[in-house]
Chain A
Amino acid sequence: MKSIVIDELIDSIEALDMVAPGKLTLAIQRLNTEDVALLAERVHHENRDRSWKAAVILSYVNHPVTLETMRQLLTANHPFLGHIAFDTLERYAPDEDIQTFVKALPQSIATLQPRLVRLIEKRGDKRAIPVLMTLLPKAKSSLLRLTIIQALGVLGDDEVREVIEGYVEDDDHHVRKRAMIALEQLTPSER
């Protein structure tokens, strides 16, 4: 497709296409590598409206350029882009290096952080522990505190015990409960 056609396709995108790609199916099948590269360029466009619309189209194209673009978008300062990137990487790159997500975690938008933490917990990579420990005291959202404590309970060992103990008196009942569960999960000290 020519760039003008790509731009027309981008302009046709609505928010609903993020969750229901039906009308895009045919257009996506016609995209070649050059088109995908053009879309990736548009994602980094200064126009934020055009940027997320291009990302929505790319999110349905399983291509190395898509994956590279989505890795960069995990830290985008835009309400949708990080979520689109996360869902796309989960869909097309289930074996993505966990470090991609660990590195993105501190810089990602607040609404995405609980999802990143849950993924890191599921993947069971202990290299995330220092990042989680740094993020926890800054977490204003009870949902984020809860997901981090849960992940530390699964991934951590005695080194995180003291930090989690600080949350058994948290203002949020659910966080307190999760801190107690996490403490039970941690390996008992051999001292």
Chain B
Amino acid sequence: MHDLQAYHYLYVEDDPLSREVMQMIMGTAMGIETLTIFDDSSNFMERLQGLMVPHVILLDIHMKPHNGFEVLDMIRQDSRYNSTTIIALTASVMNEEVTQLRERGFNGAIAKPLSIQAFPTLLRQILEGQAVWHIAD
């Protein structure tokens, strides 16, 4: 059983409302004190390298200036982050995007808007290696 409070997390998201929800879920409801949030993907690798290596990176897919796929590629090119779990967060309900997320190397995907009660379970399942591609309810 993973101790979710023991991990370091990074969330990259340019939508303020989504950031607020994540703070509420991870910070308050899950009691995680090790969540860092970037409010866009500019200078991403430079900022990432300034942090302790995160166990989990949660990436919004549709953000600027680099979208989630581009950010994923940057991370995967740096061997320091080989063991980091990278999860896509998307409001898309299109099946082709699910296929793309899987093929490009994300470890899982969770649909936005997020549910307080469902998110911790989905996160835990992804960390346990289960196939979670939770795009459409």
User: B6 at interface (Cβ–Cβ under 8 A)?
Assistant: no
Chain A residues with CB under 8 A of B137: 118, 122
Chain B residues with CB under 8 A of A143: 15, 17-18, 91, 112-113
Q: Do A87 and B115 touch across chains, with their CB atoms under 8 A apart?
A: yes
Chain B residues with CB under 8 A of A16: 29-31
Categorize the interface residue count of chain A.
20 to 34
User: B28 at interface (Cβ–Cβ under 8 A)?
Assistant: yes
User: B45 at interface (Cβ–Cβ under 8 A)?
Assistant: no
- Closest CB-CB distance, B14 to chain A, in whole Å? 8
User: A144 at interface (Cβ–Cβ under 8 A)?
Assistant: yes
What are the interface flags for B13-42 relative to A under an 8 Å C-beta threshold, 1 for contact and 0 otherwise? 001111011001100111100000000000
Interface residues of chain B: helix, strand, loop or mixed (majority): loop
User: B93 at interface (Cβ–Cβ under 8 A)?
Assistant: yes
A111–B119 alpha-carbon span in the complex (Å): 15
Which residues of A in the span 72-105 have a Cβ within 8 Å of any Cβ on B? Answer: 79-80, 83-84, 87
What are the interface flags for B43-84 relative to A under an 8 Å C-beta threshold, 1 for contact and 0 otherwise? 000000000000000000010100000000000000000000
Q: B: which residues have CB within 8 A of A?
A: 15-18, 20-21, 24-25, 28-31, 62, 64, 91-93, 112-113, 115-121, 137
Q: Do B117 and A18 touch across chains, with their CB atoms under 8 A apart?
A: yes
Chain B residues with CB under 8 A of A172: 62
User: A54 at interface (Cβ–Cβ under 8 A)?
Assistant: no
What are the interface flags for A117-146 relative to B under an 8 Å C-beta threshold, 1 for contact and 0 otherwise? 010001000000000000000001111101
Q: Do A18 and B116 touch across chains, with their CB atoms under 8 A apart?
A: yes
For B25, B91, B113, B115, the residue with the greatest tally of chain A CB atoms inside 10 Å of its CB is B113
Q: Do A19 and B117 touch across chains, with their CB atoms under 8 A apart?
A: yes
Q: List 23 A-B contacts (CB under 8 A).
A: A16-B29, A16-B30, A16-B31, A19-B25, A19-B116, A19-B120, A80-B24, A80-B116, A83-B115, A84-B116, A110-B20, A114-B17, A114-B91, A114-B112, A118-B113, A118-B137, A143-B15, A143-B18, A143-B91, A144-B17, A173-B62, A174-B62, A174-B92
